[in-house]
Amino acid sequence: MTVTESSATTDEQRVEALVDDLLEKFPPKSTDPVTFLGEQFDRGLAWVHFPEGLGGLGVNPKLQKNINERVFAAGGPNAGYRNPIGYGMCGPTVAVWGSDEQKQRYLRPLFTGEEIWCQLFSEPGSGSDFAGLSSRGVRDGDEWIVNGQKVWTTLAHLSRWGLLVVRTDPEAVKHAGLTAFVVDMQAPTVEVRPLRQITGEAEFNEVYFTDTRIPDSERLGAVGDGWRVSLTTLMNERVSIGGSIPQRGSGTIAPLVKAFKELPPERREAELDEVMKLWIRAEVLRLTNIRANQMRKMGDPGPEGSIGKMASADLNKDVWAKVVNVMGAEGMLYGSYEMKRPDVASGFETNQKAFLRSRANSIEGGTTEVMKNILGERVLGLPGDVRVDREVPWSQVPRN
Ligand SMILES: Cc1cc2nc3c(=O)[nH]c(=O)nc-3n(C[C@H](O)[C@H](O)[C@H](O)COP(=O)(O)OP(=O)(O)OC[C@H]3O[C@@H](n4cnc5c(N)ncnc54)[C@H](O)[C@@H]3O)c2cc1C
């Protein structure tokens, strides 16, 4: 007997029935991606743990994995590919901190990719120490006037909306004086300039705000809640970057296994030891992420997000270095460094490009050194990093 949504007795059956319905009525291969993703959202299969009516069904987030596996296996589109910052970080932040109007307005077009999002946190003087940022927001009636510069803003050149954090109270200690907003990236007072990377492309940008006006209704959370809002984004960022659970032998390690299998037998023997070491590291990371996923389901995000982020960065870098190494002289051929403005972030079209792009993995989303600090302090109980600016109003902290 086929289980339909109305005859389903468990959340799992209900989700399965909704996926059946989606795939039957909107075959991915003959449906345009925006329509398909819109239908996926309307059935509550976008972020399955979000409330009903907002792209979810209010059920256990582990069921999202079942949905994604079935949709991707059927050739369906991946919302996180074209709008990675939106889907992985901004959507979950709006869902927690947004007003009802903001959730209704933003989540659906974010999921369908009709509206790309970017994350405007880092500044030239504040990356790891993001809470020390200097961009200012000053209240003016029902609006805020924002001035300042952000940097390394992935996909800002394609973005319709940005998740922005600015300082609204310089007299408070640094973590307490921040406020978060949704900002219109197409406003004339927002200037986006490309920043070129080692790959030759500019997938990220500098963003300048000059007297940019943001309505107070676009605030996320209360005035002064910007740090807590950012923590939601950053927790999701770490999981989104380092928390994937591929099938054994797939994911990061797959291109190395492929390159290894293509080698002549005598070279395979020479490389076997090193390839196996990397394969084992990939498997250990996969198992760690499975455990982290289970901890999250029990409501304890724990430090595993930082472990996964740190381990996946090192593993990615080592795997891609090995891939180009195994390719021999061909691994040094890159084609063109012509400046491009890509319409996806971190597109790994060739092994050589993936090798170059993977160098940034231990910087983006929080550096490996900072992840080590988190683990040292929160897991190993080691003495904390020296923090001299914690109890001092931000305006009195020396900075250059
Ligand atoms: C590809 C890419 C995409 C990015 N996309 C975005 C984006 O979309 N939005 C956004 O807001 N940001 C983005 N970033 C910025 C990223 O979050 C920052 O680069 C990162 O947090 C580090 O900050 P920083 O570059 O200012 O380096 P800094 O914080 O100046 O660090 C410099 C060095 O000092 C070390 N260090 C700093 N503090 C400590 C400490 N307390 N203990 C030990 N070592 C320390 C760091 O590990 C690093 O090696 C992106 C970065 C990259 C590379």
Residue 392 CB coordination number (10 Å) = 12
C-alpha–C-alpha distance, residues 27 and 334, integer Å:
38
AA letter at 218: E
Average pLDDT on 354-381 reads: 91
Residue 5 has pLDDT above 90, yes or no: no
Report the range of poorest mean pLDDT among 1-10, 272-281, 341-350.
1-10
Residue 346 binned pLDDT confidence (cut-offs 50, 70, 90) = low
**Residue whose CA lies nearest to ligand 1 atom number 27:** 127
Residue 301: band (very low, low, confident or very high) from pLDDT cuts 50, 70, 90:
low
The atom of ligand 1 lying closest to the CA of 365 is 17
Q: Does the pLDDT at position 243 exceed 70? A: no
Predicted confidence (pLDDT) at residue 61 exceeds the cutoff of 90: no
Q: Burial code of 300-334, b = ≥16 C-beta within 10 A, e = fewer?
A: eeebbbbbbbbbbbebbbbbbbbbbebbeeebeee
What global pTM score does this model have?
0.92
Burial class (CB in 10 A: 0-12, 13-18, 19+), 295: middle
Average pLDDT, the chain: 92
Span 76-88, average pLDDT: 93
Q: At what angle do helices 368-378 and 304-326 cross, to 10 degrees?
A: 140
Predicted local distance difference test score (pLDDT) of residue 299: 58
Q: Which range is least confidently modeled, 119-123, 125-129, 260-264, 376-380?
A: 376-380
pLDDT score for 340:
86
Q: What are phi and psi of 209, to 5 degrees?
A: -110, 125
Side chain identity at residue 385, one-letter code: D
Q: What is the pLDDT of residue 90?
A: 96
Grade residue 344 by pLDDT with cuts at 50, 70 and 90. confident
**Minimum-distance ligand 1 atom for the alpha carbon of 150:** 11
DSSP code of residue 253:
G
* Spatial contact of 193 and 164, defined as CB atoms under 8 Å apart: no
Q: Up-side HSE of residue 211: CA atoms within 13 Å toward CB?
A: 0
Whether residue 1 is predicted with pLDDT greater than 60 in this model: the reply is no
Percent of the chain with pLDDT over 90: 75
Answer for the pair 315, 278: CB distance below 8 angstroms, yes or no. yes
Q: Is the pLDDT of residue 257 over 80?
A: yes
Q: How confident is the model at residue 270 (pLDDT cuts 50, 70, 90)?
A: very high
For residues 21-26, average pLDDT: 98
**C-alpha–C-alpha distance, residues 321 and 355, integer Å:** 6
Token representation of residue 258: 């492929």
* Protein residue closest via CA to atom 40 of ligand 1: 370
Confidence band of 365 (pLDDT split at 50, 70, 90): confident
Which has the minimum average pLDDT: 42-46, 85-89, 291-295, 313-317?
291-295
Range scoring the smallest mean pLDDT among 213-222, 272-281, 306-315: 306-315
Give the span between the Cα atoms of 345 and 242, in whole angstroms.
16
| CA distances for 236 relative to 90, 128, 228, angstroms | 9, 17, 13
Place 300 in a pLDDT band, splitting at 50, 70 and 90: low
What pLDDT, in 10s, does the model give residues 165-203? Answer: 999 999 999 999 999 999 999 999 999 999 999 999 999
In the structure, which protein residues have their CB atom closer than 6 angstroms to any atom of ligand 1? 85, 118-122, 127-128, 152-154, 204, 360, 363-364, 366-367, 369-370, 373, 385
Is pLDDT of 33 > 60?
yes
Note whether 88 and 130 are within 8 A (CB).
no
Q: How confident is the model at residue 82 (pLDDT cuts 50, 70, 90)?
A: confident
- CA quadruple 146, 150, 153, 158: dihedral, nearest 10: 40
pLDDT value of position 389? 85
Q: Is 150 helix (H, G, I), strand (E, B) or coil?
A: strand
For ligand 1, the distance from its centroid to the CA atom of residue 151, given in whole angstroms, is: 10
Q: Which atom of ligand 1 is nearest to the CA of 156?
A: 8
Identify any residues that bridge with 136 across adjacent strands, giving them in sequence order. 147, 167
Residue from 85, 119, 122, 149 to probe ligand 1 pocket by mutation (most atoms less than 8 Å from CB): 122
* pLDDT reported for residue 307: 83
